[in-house]
Chain A
Amino acid sequence: MSRPSKGAAANAPEAAPGKPILVVHDIVKRFETPDGILTAVDHVSFTVAPGEFVSLIGPSGCGKSTLFNVIGGLIDGYEGAVTVAGERRSGPHAAIGMIFQEESTFPWRTVIDNVAFPLELAGLPKAERYERARHFVALVGLAGFERRYPAELSGGMRQRVSMARTLAASPKIMLMDEPFAALDEQTRLLLGDKVLQIQQELKQTMLLITHNITEAVQLSDRVLVMTYRPGKLKREVEIDLPRPRTSEIVSSEAFGRYVAQIWGDLREEASRGLRDDEQYQLERKDHP
């Protein structure tokens, strides 16, 4: 499964070429609920090569957020293994940077203090912290906003701050859980451009969890499609669009074909999810 995609991984600095930086092996995660045992993730395995951009896409309720938390080390009690750069680990790890779906900037810190947070934890002296942090602030396109507070920024800008903060920790893998879900379509496309730019410049390995097909195809080298609960990997799609890319790619024919293909797979899963939801709501009404 670890076919390196063309182009992006060629200059990967970490690990020997061809050797995956992330191995997700046979993850099973179940939850106990009042309605019985729920299998959120059902034997999911995949790998990610260094410098690759992989998206995990699936309908709501397919367990992708659970997978995000498992890979990031925020939950345990699962079967299977997560291996990062050859090391099997559990629990949060310096090699993995996480970006969350919700607002996660620290409202009491300025932009630069937010971004410098991981450097502060590492014990870097103030001057060096700020210099490095400034680099990442500029990288996400927020130069000039260093002394502002998150409350003064828009939602998209705040997500960029969170991104810069995670990048400042120089993680081997960036793990993102629908970071642009709260933003409007146009902002998403433009931020997507930014992400691509950053990835190209830093050769950063990225794993994106999303439900947005356009986003997945726009950004990724590979798209992994998940089924509805219990979540399994339904299909792996290699995105053979040229790099470097910009958001203009969304109007190309090839783009449209990929989207159609993925939607074809997803639609069935999504409608199962919808029916399930309605059924549940009906039942709840009858047994309050």
Chain B
Amino acid sequence: MAEAGRLTATAGRPRRGLLHPVTALRVGIIVAVLATWQLLSASGLLYRDVVPSLAAIALALYVTLSDPSFYFHLATTGYEIGIALAIGGVSGLAVGIALGASKLMAKAYEAYLYYLGPTPKIIFFPVMIMWFGVGAGSKVAMGAVSCFFPIALNVAAGMRGIDPVLIRVGASFRANTWQMVTKIYLPAMRYPVINGLRIGLGVALIGTLLAETKLSNRGIGFLVIQAYSLFNMPQMYSLLIVLFVISIGANALIGRLGGLHDIKRS
């Protein structure tokens, strides 16, 4: 049990050799999972088509990634999510700051956000279609509405968590509202904002993708449901793999941009 004083932890993560127990365990788990999968697939115990062989999945992955139209769909979804995050993010930030700054506003309205938040926004999709049409508009709307809530709630909580001393410092320098927001509030609540963004990304993804599965002719969600309707399972898996890799990467990227050093902190 080392004492405080001047003991400094080793900077950064240690480099792990191949025989390091952690690496060994990870490799072991991956091998076990893949082996079980392949066995399930070959034996046909579970519905044969739901567990295609690893080779079939690998092939489908190759086919997917080398198909230029795939990137078109990827870009569509990416564009929808990007705009959704921008709209939901900015409005969530604005509302969150307003709620966090004023106890009255918070007491009056925050509960509505809190209980409306976990409501799946896909149920508003038919309404969105009426308002924004069957194209990208309704998907963006879905994503934006989805991510607005966690962002607003996290920002409001983050505002309340700011050390009041910092706010008094800003006031003593007579900072105007814009300066307060950009120079004090936002830097002080980096972590809650970033975490809100990650959760927002997660729910925006769900909202947009589900909207694409329901009614669309482009985007990753559409490709997934198309693969399913054609019962092309390997194709579906390959799409899911790509999708998951990208979303995990995006999540980690947001975290790193915010200065958090691993994606597990939330």
Question: A: which residues have CB within 8 A of B?
Answer: 31, 33-35, 38, 40, 61, 65-66, 69, 74-75, 280
Contact = CB atoms under 8 A, between A and B. Distances in A.
Nearest to B6: A33
B6 A66 contact: no
B5 interface: yes
Nearest to B4: A65
Contacts of B2: 31
A286 B232 CA distance: 61
Interface in B1-39: 1-8, 10
B8 A40 contact: no
22 contacts: A31-B2, A31-B5, A31-B7, A33-B5, A33-B6, A33-B8, A34-B7, A34-B8, A34-B10, A38-B5, A38-B6, A40-B3, A40-B5, A61-B5, A65-B4, A66-B3, A69-B1, A69-B3, A74-B1, A75-B1, A75-B3, A280-B6
Nearest to A40: B3
A62 to B, nearest CB: 10
A4 B1 CA distance: 34
Given A35-B6, A69-B1, 9 more contacts: A31-B2, A31-B7, A33-B5, A33-B6, A40-B3, A40-B5, A65-B4, A74-B1, A75-B3
Nearest to A35: B6
**5 nearest interchain CB pairs?**
A75-B1, A33-B7, A66-B3, A34-B8, A33-B6
A69 B1 CA distance: 10
A35 B5 CA distance: 12
Contacts of B10: 34
B3 A31 contact: yes
B6 A65 contact: no
Query: Interface size class for chain B?
Result: under 10
B3 A65 contact: yes
A279 to B, nearest CB: 11
A34 B2 CA distance: 13
Nearest to B5: A61
A42 to B, nearest CB: 14
Contacts of A75: 1, 3
Contacts of B1: 69, 74-75
Interface string B83-100: 000000000000000000
Contacts of A74: 1
A74 B10 CA distance: 23
A61 B5 CA distance: 7
Interface centre among B4, B5, B8, B10 (most CB of A within 10 A): B5
A247 B2 CA distance: 37
A66 B5 CA distance: 10
A74 B2 CA distance: 10
Nearest to B2: A31
Nearest to A276: B6
Nearest to B3: A66
Contacts of B5: 31, 33, 38, 40, 61
B2 to A, nearest CB: 6
Nearest to B11: A34
Contacts of B3: 31, 40, 65-66, 69, 75
A66 B3 CA distance: 7
A124 to B, nearest CB: 31
A75 B10 CA distance: 21
Nearest to A33: B7
Contacts of A34: 7-8, 10
B5 to A, nearest CB: 6
B12 to A, nearest CB: 13
B90 to A, nearest CB: 36
Nearest to A75: B1
A40 B2 CA distance: 11
Interface centre among B1, B2, B3 (most CB of A within 10 A): B3
Nearest to A66: B3
Contacts of A33: 5-8
A268 B21 CA distance: 50
